[in-house]
Amino acid sequence: SVIRCDVLVIGAGAAGLMCAMTAGRRGRLVQVIDHANKVGKKILMSGGGRCNFTNTGTTAANFLSANPHFCKSALARYTPWHFIEMVERHGIAYHEKELGQLFCDISSKQIVKMLVDECQAAGVHIRTDCGVQKVERGADGFHVHTAQGHFHAASLVVATGGLSIPSMGATGFGYELARQFGHEVLPTRAGLVPLTLSGKHQERFNDLSGVALPITARCNEVEFRNSMLITHRGISGPAILQISSFWQPGDELRLDLLPGQDALEWLRRMKAERGAAELRTVLSEVLPRRLALRLCEHWLPDRLVRQIDEPQLRQAAELLQNFPLVASGTEGYRTAEVTLGGVDTRKVSSSTFESQLVPGLHFIGEVLDVTGWLGGYNFQWAWACGHAAGSVA
């Protein structure tokens, strides 16, 4: 027997659930199917279990895409304040961590429960453990063959996300479906991901695992000031995750280890005031000690500050302010928070998210070539396009 609905959403993640509740409230008969054994797994694991569900400062400038204007319309029509209104209506306590990032006080489970409750109130049917075998389009709409039977729908919404964290159910399904219907998929790669080091940088840093410090990371004319964490495999922390989305193998990566300070001015002052101290000693007062020692072992003059002449001071300042770090790669999809690239937006409507090639077919969320920075922007994008598609599908 055929299960009939108006709107079939594939993917019960952030974008899919938002789309489903919005369409359901309009009186549409909505089915959501997901191959995973529960809904919203990425929401559950997000933000260290507290879900950074939006960013109050969200603008189009916080997203990467081959088509930078594409995200504007949906973001303007469904803002962080719309989502916050729903969070407050459900009595979910939240706080701002930094830079406009809003997190649940208690648990990301509350966000999933809110989305599921809203779907239920809107009459949406959700099925898990429902893998898709085949999608076909006939004159009467879409026929979707699944592990739980044959669905027929006038509108099909693809909300299957990106490739990051395959162990959480991520697949390339959305990209394959897009290609099946004639859409182009721009090359994908891991974003918001730790970087790995090789060669001498790997050797010189690997036993500093656990060292954290504030930095400014720069790459391809973009920079992020936040913290960095040295790990046993390479480097991580918010500043590195952010810059990783702008970095590709071979690109130069520079770190300012004394962000917000003038390193040369500071070194000259140390020479004037603390000439009898070792450089490693004064450096340990402004950097984690293990890192300061390592820098003096390999890169900086390991002697009394008064013995360092002006040209060497300049060199040292340059090194501290513009440290050239050689990354060998990323940790890949296994640990990446997002996938860059995806379904080319140039054949998708930015207001309805409907395919310009196949009427009734919609793509929303991370499956599209729109990727946010770290800090709640990716969920805001999922909510905004879920809402836009759900308003018309």
Which residues of this protein are in contact with ligand FAD, per CB under 6 A? 10-16, 34-36, 41-42, 45-47, 51-52, 131-132, 159-161, 164-165, 169, 171, 173, 337-338, 365-366, 376-379, 382
Residue 4 C-beta: closest distance to ligand FAD, Å: 19
143 vs 290, beta carbon nearer ligand FAD: 143
Question: Using CA atoms, how far apart are residues 339 and 370, in angstroms rounded to an integer?
Answer: 9
Residue 254 C-beta: closest distance to ligand FAD, Å: 26
Question: Using CA atoms, how far apart are residues 256 and 223, in angstroms rounded to an integer?
Answer: 10
16 vs 238, beta carbon nearer ligand FAD: 16
321 vs 330, beta carbon nearer ligand FAD: 330
161 vs 238, beta carbon nearer ligand FAD: 161
Strands 94-96 and 101-104: antiparallel
169 vs 238, beta carbon nearer ligand FAD: 169
Residue 55 C-beta: closest distance to ligand FAD, Å: 8
Q: What H or E segment, with its residue span, contains residue 390? A: helix 377-390
Residue 201 C-beta: closest distance to ligand FAD, Å: 26
Per DSSP (E only), the strands in 261-374 are 323-325, 327-330, 338-343, 361-363, 371-372
Instruction: Kindly state the tokens that stand for 332.
Output: 């890949």
Torsion angle (degrees, nearest 10) of CA 183, 184, 190, 191: -80
130 vs 257, beta carbon nearer ligand FAD: 130
49 vs 68, beta carbon nearer ligand FAD: 49
According to DSSP, residue 208 is labeled G
10 Å CB burial of residue 268 (0-12, 13-18, 19+) is: middle
Residue 126 C-beta: closest distance to ligand FAD, Å: 11
Residue closest to ligand FAD when measured from CB atoms: 13
Residue 51 C-beta: closest distance to ligand FAD, Å: 6
Question: Using CA atoms, how far apart are residues 170 and 160, in angstroms rounded to an integer?
Answer: 8
Residue 344 C-beta: closest distance to ligand FAD, Å: 16
Residue 149 C-beta: closest distance to ligand FAD, Å: 14
Residue 393 C-beta: closest distance to ligand FAD, Å: 15
216 vs 339, beta carbon nearer ligand FAD: 339
Contacts of 226-235 with C-beta under 8 Å, sequence gap 24+, read 228/255, 230/205, 230/291, 231/194, 232/206, 233/194, 233/196, 233/331, 234/194, 234/195, 234/196, 234/197, 234/202, 234/205, 234/327, 234/328, 234/331, 235/194, 235/195, 235/197, 235/205, 235/325, 235/327
Question: Using CA atoms, how far apart are residues 187 and 201, in angstroms rounded to an integer?
Answer: 29
**DSSP assignments along 62-122, one per residue:** GEE-SSTTTTHHHHHHS-HHHHHHHHHHTT--EEE-STTEEEESS-THHHHHHHHHHHHHT
**Amino acid at residue number 324:** P
Given a contact cutoff of 8 angstroms between Cβ atoms, the answer to whether 49 and 108 are in contact is yes
Residue 375 C-beta: closest distance to ligand FAD, Å: 7
Measured CA to CA in angstroms, residue 195 lies from 217, 240, 252, 254 at distances of 12, 7, 13, 13
165 vs 228, beta carbon nearer ligand FAD: 165
11 vs 234, beta carbon nearer ligand FAD: 11
